Structure 1
């Protein structure tokens, strides 16, 4: 039995290419090389739009370069420039009829233009291996539905029976196909099979199934499904429109009203699978294909934005999130994401305005206030951050386990604004809600070490934190530093050496290791660490302290440092 995990490796192989330029006349070679190098630079900077632009120009001067063709195609498709990607897909198909991604683009384009027979002809050459094992059955099913062939569509899905991890995709498609064909009983059977394991249900599949229940006179089942999903979602309000419909007995329109709708849905769900396998390049292409068929598919716009976020493409993420109607359930969440990306690109004032507006518009929601607090804290506006976190906690009322981080963040803001008693209370509250949380243990214990209080308890906390996160350099450093404070220099040096291995570019950890080396008589190594720390340190006050140590060595007791 095949496993979906193979597709991450197979999909990644489609895009990780070493590009080279084919032999060209000298002038054309120079122009192509310039465009290629500009594209390569943009590619390395993860700017897919600019990379696609320059690679496309290079390709016009070097059209026989297959590797360049593949990369240009994938970037254009990832950027949603499918009008330009389709001709390149045709070229790729002519050279490699088994290229599943190029075939998918051609099938989607043909089906959108109503060319069902042509789409079918492309699918006939799709191999039964690699990515095509997952992609092929849904594509063939919706092409069959476009030809009004329900039996053929269901038959096309059968290979998914043998693919481990594809049962949810199979059952969802059987349900959607039968629903579209008016086969209510068969659709219900498939959806009930999918619902037998709640872990297989996503937000979108819950909407699809619930929509079917609402239209089939099963309002109670729809409500139960929405309630169950709302309890699992970080934003339970995503189901508000559905509950509002149920409350007044309004029957919704079908979410899947045509084969194109079904294909778009299929492409989105395939994209989520690729995303789970961390094949973001492929996931983005399938997301853009879904949007090519249904530009208003909010879950696809959200997925595109999240992929761009993960890849550090803030401007592209903002563009994707802004395609979501603010009045839709995902619109509010999209605005939260936009605020975060605005801050990432340095538009702090605009991000702050968005968050304050969201907080004012929805006084029942605390999330924008938490994000506002995080933004203000990152800008070192700690007093204002405390105020934002406090307002968020007021809206929450009774704090639950999931709210521990708000107390932790507010504790940091209190500590940074010299309100230690308030900070300590918040850290302890965070640990009450989430016992053993490593970050909280580390921050509180390190603060106690710096204040020379509760050292024994701090040591136990840090041992617990290191046991939970042995590869966290900051936490390992904290444990080493408490050993230093306690005069246990050999233990300190051992731990701090490990911390530097984990965080070699951190100036404070290198400085700490230098101090420990000095105390155990390794003075040459101590000076080396201080010099290294000095080169990494930006804070002028800390630089002066390190320079003093380089000049005179350590003259104070560890307890006085």
Structure 2
């Protein structure tokens, strides 16, 4: 169907009547608005493209052809938009591309590009953007989108000359900043090796600039070449000894392998640049991570002395103190930040989150709720509402809490992307069930999941989550039935084998069956620390203490969790390594002093850890 082909008015009227019948009800007004928007030079908001495609949503009027809105064009636009509403973006894309080629109107090419981008059809999005740019060479948006798509798909031969031209347009005084911007642009690609290669080639004559080496270091780190990244950072600091970003990144990389080396390098930098606030903060964090509290405190005092009215310092100190569970000090710093931030109109929401967390961890749930309700950043709206519901649950205001989750669940229906919608619904459901279990409302949690299962009896996620509720209720026969159904439906999912195997091991029953289940889980995910923990636990139950200790140590090294540490300490105790066991349990307490399994373990052995 082509818009320049003549149609009889009778035939077109019949087709338009058919199209209108299709749109009656929910889609008519949206579809008519789309037609009007396209011919007015704007884009339909319901199918918005990325920012790059919106920077020039009104193509230059001088470039637009004189186009009559014929019945044929109107029909094709309406049919395409109806197809979009019914989940058929491919047909809509092809129609708009054909219209753009026939009419040479950039608005149709733009719409085709938006549809393809929203559908994550990269090849079609490139086709649309290229046609858009061909029709309207003055428009910046399609060129930006083409570049972004080429980078994201690693089409380096085509995009590298474009990036070289952009870099060469930078004035000499701004070339270093342009190289750092280039690296950030390239970092959007999953092909980190290809991105590094482009950066190396385009900056081959810029090695006298410290920014070049910082950019190369960042690219090498993204490519998992920490040694190469550190070598580049050393070159950057040789060229500019007080180059703070390079010093901070070098310390961060060294800390992953050798915290003491990181401390030494950052301490040396602070001596040469004593006014660096960020370097002192980073050094204080490293000291705390290494449990060198006195030296960390010295840095805190130096920061307060050097920047008593710097809001950033107050916020950073407050968050660090919160991380260390020094709640009074954290609250004082965060309150001080709020006063300083108010004068300079800085964001307060991070401090509100910190103050809410401090109150919650001190079990002052009313105060925590009051702080969280002061957050007004729309970007944090969902997370804030979830936290409100969780705090209401801790206050036993369960009807209010569940009402929030219900409202949030209804809002997810507006998410266009099916995968994202399903992930959000799962996160909200799990958060609601977790809130109910923490509140001791097992019957409510069971009712919530049972209602979902009644509607979808073979939905594996509901089966698994209900099994965890029944495990909490110690209804183990029901739990095992649900988990076996889950395993039947998802035989390649490690969760079912791990959950059932661990439950049997923890109850010290049917240990050979537990071992088989956990060996199967290990085959499916050999590096999963939680499965290592479960397998270590069943080995302990079977009396293979050294193998258990080795597995649990590996699990803890991969994921320092209080429950894993409690298990590891138990095995070390049975091996006669009681001092090691106490040190391990002390680490567990620092991670989570409310851990039920840790408390039960300590009580069983009559161990009282020093404060």
TM-score range, shorter chain: 0.3 to 0.5
Pick 1 or 2: higher relative contact order, CA cutoff 8 A, min separation 6. 1
TM-score by length of 2: 0.42
TM-score by length of 1: 0.46
